[in-house]
Chains A and B, each alone.
Chain A
């Protein structure tokens, strides 16, 4: 087992190198002049005409062969330097640090409800196979992965922010608005008295005892969280349902029933535990699904996280930021997959890794 993990970890840099190479080659498809545009933030730089642009190209090494550029990039990466991001007006690493907690907060709030509801409803619908509740959840899940994230998000925004907000009680002041928190809350959070621990607004505000900000941040989180989680929730639920259906047909479940155990014990103790195994794999997909989902969700809700940054950076051809973000997401993906494999062995003794 340990040897297996060790080998996987050793292989990890190789995969990462290959992956970043592909990313890098992708970015190389851009015209050098397009990539240069990022470095020009002052019209006076253009006075020299094309000759000056060429000088700038040389200065930033954009004309070098791709493998030299790649080598330089990897070298910098190893030193923790991902370059300057024009969209963040900061280094990529700093921009990342300031946005990551926002996305992490969003994803964490989506993660737990997805798993809990998916398991609960999946079991419920498998136990009542082809009955009303099963058909209903089936309908809801099919709708779930047919409804595009952006349609759902916009619809929620229209209904809650556009319509419901007008008749909300004063307690819900500021709820459902786009962004991360209301302006007054932002002033406090950016103030000197506010201590930052994690960068996640809800957690920090709670630690600072600012319960009004916690409430406000929750109100801003609720729509993005629903938008983000609906699709993942639907596919998770489907995995749970089919796995549970499969398990209920196993011999040992029949044996348990034949022993005279109550249906409740059969389902909760015997069937559900084993049916949970595929959920471990699905969790890996869930993480990826959430990470992909934030791109659209954050864009719709003007939520200042990694997803909206990626969209902004890509559309403005902020190459350094795009490369950095993609490298991070890819590395995270690899690590999550490795963790899933390990958890798999821990929960299912039948599986042996060699």
Chain B
């Protein structure tokens, strides 16, 4: 746990870690911090792909922390300032900002973790097959990878998710479609490096199957750095995903920080006399996104330094 100690010693990465733990706590405790109106969140790991109900922001008269929303359904178009019944105010269509913030933390983690995990998995499979077998398999796979890398990623993701239609799952699919190639390349390089080691040769000589060699000998030695890099990508992925939901690519009313800002856009400039009248509609979700991505980047910066021994030497 040498790395962890280094991360705790550096004030910047410590800050990142604390921020991240806070967000994790909010995401995990969401059903308790902001109990959903409709059921479905009894279990802690409610998979939103199958059940989006708790993610639907309530439009009720009273939405208080730790209490289920109650009162009439209200569809007030104008944002309402923070009050006792709505801690952080409401945005367009009377969506409660506090509720959206809390459940938005959960959807941010879900988007980030699921996208990165699946892209990584695909990258590992393609990369290790290409690197391990080499030859024409490698040639074909890498040409495909190259063609996918030709697109400017975010634009391609945006267009694909538009085509697939509004929805969290479609945004994820779009991210995965254009995201796996980077990891595939990286893994392939690592596999090529590890493959040259004597112990792989030895395993081959002792008659190990290809499957056995890839999973027991090559991958375990190639995968650690890429897992670190990939997990730190979560911040970037969420950054991109919030941009898409800001542009309106996820279903309306689904708790997501980007969406909160997207629906508040029309109210940005307030009224003629008071440009800051609706500041709360932009400020809180904007702060949440920025801090979330910031926490990943603070960690990432420190981890990169830890992994780069030359820089570490000069620090002491």
- Check B294–A143 contact: CB distance below 8 A: yes
- Give the bracket for the number of chain B residues in contact with chain A: 35 or more
How many residues of chain A get a CB closer than 8 Å to chain B's CBs?
48
Flag B268-303 by CB within 8 Å of A: 1 or 0 each: 111000011001001000100110011001100100
Q: Does B1 contact A (CB under 8 A)?
A: no
Q: Report yes or no: B152 in contact with A330, Cβ–Cβ below 8 A.
A: yes
Does B29 sit at the interface, judged by CB under 8 A?
no
- Determine whether the beta carbon of B261 is less than 8 Å from that of A154: yes
Contact present for A15 and B146 (CB under 8 Å): yes
**Given the contacts A161-B269, A291-B152, A142 and B158 also touching, CB distance less than 8 Å:** no
Contact A142–B301 (Cβ < 8 Å): yes
Q: Given A129-B314, A143-B294, A146-B290 in contact, is the A158-B282 Cβ separation under 8 Å?
A: yes
- Which residues from B are CB-within-8-Å of A163? 275-276
* Chain A residues with CB below 8 A from B297, complex form: 142, 145-146
B101 to chain A, nearest CB (A): 14
CB-defined contacts of A299 to chain B, threshold 8 Å: 247
A residues near B279, Cβ cutoff 8 Å: 158
- Bound: A163/B267 CA distance, A: 14
B248 within 8 A of A: yes
Tell me the nearest residue of chain A to B291, going by C-beta: A146
Among A146, A162, A326, which residue has the most Cβ atoms of chain B within 10 A?
A146
B237 to chain A, nearest CB (A): 13
**Bound-state Cα–Cα, A62 to B258, Å:** 35
B175 at the interface (CB under 8 A from A): no
A2-34 contacts to B, CB under 8 A, are 15, 18-19, 22, 26-27, 29-30
B163 at interface, CB cutoff 8 A: yes
Interface SS majority for chain B: helix
Question: Given contacts A150-B243, A314-B159, A314-B162, is CB(A158)–CB(B265) below 8 Å?
Answer: no
Q: Contact between B150 and A334 (Cβ–Cβ < 8 Å)?
A: yes
B239 at the interface (CB under 8 A from A): yes
**A334 to chain B: closest residue by CB:** B150
What is the chain B residue whose CB lies nearest that of A163?
B275
Give the residue name and chain of the B residue nearest to A289 (CB): B152
A148-B147 contact, Cβ under 8 Å, with A161-B269, A162-B269, A311-B247? no
Interface presence of B45 (CB below 8 A):
no
For A39, the chain B residues whose CB sits under 8 A away are none
Within 8 A of A (CB), among B238-279: 239, 242-243, 246-248, 258, 261, 265, 268-270, 275-276, 279
* Chain A interfacial positions (CB closer than 8 Å to B): 15, 18-19, 22, 26-27, 29-30, 129-130, 138, 142-143, 145-151, 154-155, 157-158, 161-163, 166, 245-246, 249, 288, 291-292, 295-296, 299, 310-311, 314-315, 317, 322, 326, 329-330, 333-334
